[in-house]
Chain A
Amino acid sequence: MNHRQKEEYLREYSILKNQGKPFWPYAVAKDGAMAAVVIGSIILMSIVLGAELGPKADGTTTTYVPRPEWYFFFLFELLRIIKPPELVPLATIGIPTICMILLFLLPFYDRGPERRPEKRPIATTAGIFTIVAMGYLTYLGAAAGSPNEIEMEPPPSVVAQGEQMVEQFESGKQVVAQAGCLACHKIGENGNDGPGPHLDDIGARVGRDAIARTMVNPTAPMPSYAQLQEENPERFNNLVAFLSQLKGEEEE
């Protein structure tokens, strides 16, 4: 903004201001109404949702699944998405710091005189993009489950094969959850995206025997489940049965 534009803005603004209404009581009444709505919704949330208190802090746990408060989900998800260890400082410190600096300096690099959102395409697009990106990351972070649990209903093809199959599917699901497969594989909405492939349709791509062979004799870095096969063949069979029933039907 050059000097003339500044003067023009100030003149325009003072005219608009003189045509406006006094702060007291017109704007104050609106503010008061809004404040009542805000405090009212806080009271309502407090009564309806209460204040949950989890189990006492315990540094010795190995089963607890930490999750942040919802407004830090975007950061949480960012840390999950950025996988290479060399980039960890970028995700933890780098990106948030850069965003903060960009935010601080906004009025110093966006100095155009135009204020209407539709006449500022870059700023408006960047703003909407930021909101959508943060909303999407928040959604992903909220949806990220524990790697020790799978939330999945037996697909119709399994149900069609009778109750025994459903039972096997369920117990195989348990084994997958407990064996930590989700640390490297993704099944539906559960688990991590990599380093292993998605298992949504593994049963459609690979035969049952091939799955069993891979489990016993995998390519590194996947661990071998040969020990499980020896010591507990039933669990191993359930595991293989579960995987071979994953045919990618859920997405349809």
Chain B
Amino acid sequence: MPPKRKHVTKSKYTADRQIPGAFEGETITRRRFMTGGAHLGGAVATMAIVLPAAGFAFGPVFEKVDQPWNPVGPPDDFPDDTYVPAVVTLINDIGQGGKTTVYLRKRNPEIDTEPADEYNQWIALSTRCMHLGCPVRFVEASGRFICPCHGGVYGFRGEVTGGPPVRPLDRFYTRLKNGQVEVGPRYSVNSELDRFSPRDPGEPLDGVGQYLYPSRPTIRKGPNQ
């Protein structure tokens, strides 16, 4: 039977714990030190690869994106009782994939009760369904916007009248410059048609929605910045 080892209670000095070759004042065994060092070295090497790669991949999330103002035609082109489609470019140089159609009409004070300013003299509605982004179409006969995917229906001002969309159709800032109506950055609206920085489809803005679905930090800006 081996002699019962005398259990030295938790001295923090290795020398007190009778570890061979321990130095005076040493509190950590060499094996332990090397284990920690191996972990640390591995972690540093892994991070050195992962962090730059992740930053590279996630970088565009925080990148500032400028949206140009697109001239779409003289003011007379747009009546105030129906919508006229116009194509605007969101992202340059990628062809049709970077463009979208907006529905434009002149502001009609009898219908449009939201406060007027210099950016909504023409009402420009996005054609992205606010359920999940399918292309909605304005149907003249019924004065509705109809989504072909999951049954969303919007009224004349873009407000939801049926189906699953979570908020009214997004809008674009508009202005008059050099005799042309120009369509600028997109913004989102809640069911009261209050303005919010642009969100993706499927993200409600009523109640706590605007906090649950934050917008991109770099596009929280008005039309004139």
Interface set of A (CB-CB < 8 Å, partner B):
56-66, 76, 79-80, 82-89, 91-92, 146-148, 175, 178-181, 183-184, 192, 194-196, 221, 223, 225, 227-228
Pick out which of these stretches binds chain A: B5-13, B14-22, B47-55, B149-157: B149-157
Complex-state Cα separation, A188 to B136, whole angstroms: 23
Interface residues of B in 102-140 (CB under 8 A from A): 127, 131-132, 134-139
Q: Complex: how many Å from CA A62 to CA B160?
A: 18
Cβ-closest chain A residue relative to B101: A60
A183 to B131, CA, bound (A): 14
- Most chain B beta-carbon contacts within 10 A, residue among A82, A146, A147: A147
Q: Which residues of chain B are within 8 angstroms of A227 by Cβ–Cβ distance?
A: 141
Which range holds the interface residue count of chain B?
A: 35 or more
- Shortest Cβ distance from residue A61 to the other chain B in the assembled complex, whole angstroms: 5
Residues in A whose Cβ lies below 8 Å from that of B151: 80, 83, 147, 183, 192
Q: Are A183 and B127 in contact (CB under 8 A)?
A: no
Scan B188-207; emit 1 where CB is below 8 A from any A CB, else 0: 00000000000000101000
* Chain A residues, Cβ within 8 Å of B36: none
Set of chain A residues within 8 Å of B136, measured between Cβ atoms: 62
**B97 to chain A: which residues have CB within 8 Å?**
57-59
Give the residue of B135, B143, B162 whose beta carbon is less than 8 angstroms from that of A62: B135
B158 to chain A, nearest CB (A): 14
Q: How far is it, in angstroms, between the C-alpha of A91 and the C-alpha of B204 when the chains are bound?
A: 14
- In-complex Cβ contact of B150 among A62, A79, A148 (8 A): A79
**Chain B positions near chain A (C-beta within 8 angstroms):** 85, 87, 90, 96-101, 127, 131-132, 134-139, 141-144, 146-153, 155, 160-167, 202, 204
By the criterion CB–CB under 8 Å, are B163 and A147 in contact?
no
Contact B101 A62 (CB under 8 A): yes
Q: Contact: A79 with B132, CB < 8 Å?
A: yes
Q: Nearest Cβ distance between residue B125 and chain A, in whole angstroms?
A: 11
Is A183's CB under 8 angstroms from B150's CB? no
Residues A85 and B204 in contact, CB atoms below 8 Å apart: yes
Q: How far is the CA of A146 from the CA of B147 in the complex (A)?
A: 9
Known: A60-B99, A85-B166, A179-B142. 9 other contacts (CB 8 A): A60-B101, A64-B148, A65-B149, A80-B164, A85-B164, A89-B202, A148-B148, A179-B141, A183-B152
What's the Cα separation between A63 and B155 when bound, in Å?
Answer: 18
| 29 residue pairs bridging A and B, Cβ less than 8 Å apart | A58-B96, A58-B99, A59-B97, A59-B99, A60-B99, A62-B85, A62-B135, A63-B137, A66-B135, A79-B164, A83-B151, A84-B164, A92-B132, A146-B148, A147-B148, A148-B146, A175-B141, A178-B141, A180-B144, A180-B153, A183-B144, A183-B152, A183-B162, A183-B163, A184-B162, A195-B161, A221-B155, A221-B162, A227-B141
B96–A80 CB distance below 8 A: no
* CB–CB B204/A59 < 8 A: no
Decide if A184 touches B153 in the complex (CB within 8 Å). yes
Q: Do A65 and B148 contact each other (CB < 8 Å), given the known contacts A59-B100, A178-B139? A: yes
| CB-defined contacts of B90 to chain A, threshold 8 Å | 59
- Residues from chain B with Cβ under 8 Å of A66 in the complex: 134-135, 148-149
Q: How far is the CB of A53 from chain B (nearest CB, A)?
A: 15
Q: A59-B99, A62-B136 are in contact. Are A192 and B141 (CB under 8 A)?
A: no
Which residues of chain A have C-beta atoms less than 8 A from B162's C-beta?
Answer: 183-184, 192, 194-196, 221
Min Cβ gap B51→A in Å is 28
| Interface pair A60/B141, CB less than 8 Å apart | no
Residues of chain B with a CB closer than 8 A to A175's CB: 141
Evaluate contact between A60 and B96: CB separation under 8 angstroms: yes
Docked complex Cα distance between A88 and B138 (Å): 23
How many Å from the CB of A67 to the closest CB on chain B? Answer: 8
Whose C-beta in chain B lies nearest to the C-beta of A63? B137
Chain B min CB distance to A81 (Å): 9
Report the Cα distance A194→B161, complex, angstroms.
Answer: 11
- How far apart sit A161 and B25, CA to CA, in the bound complex (Å)? 109
Interface-central residue, A66, A86, A147, A183, by most chain B CB under 10 Å: A183
Q: Which residues of A have CB within 8 Å of B87?
A: 60
Closest Cβ of chain B: how far from A78's Cβ, in Å?
9
| A192 and B149 alpha carbons, distance in the complex (Å) | 10
Contact B100 A192 (CB under 8 A): no
Asked whether, in the complex, the Cβ of B135 is within 8 Å of the Cβ of A64, the reply is yes
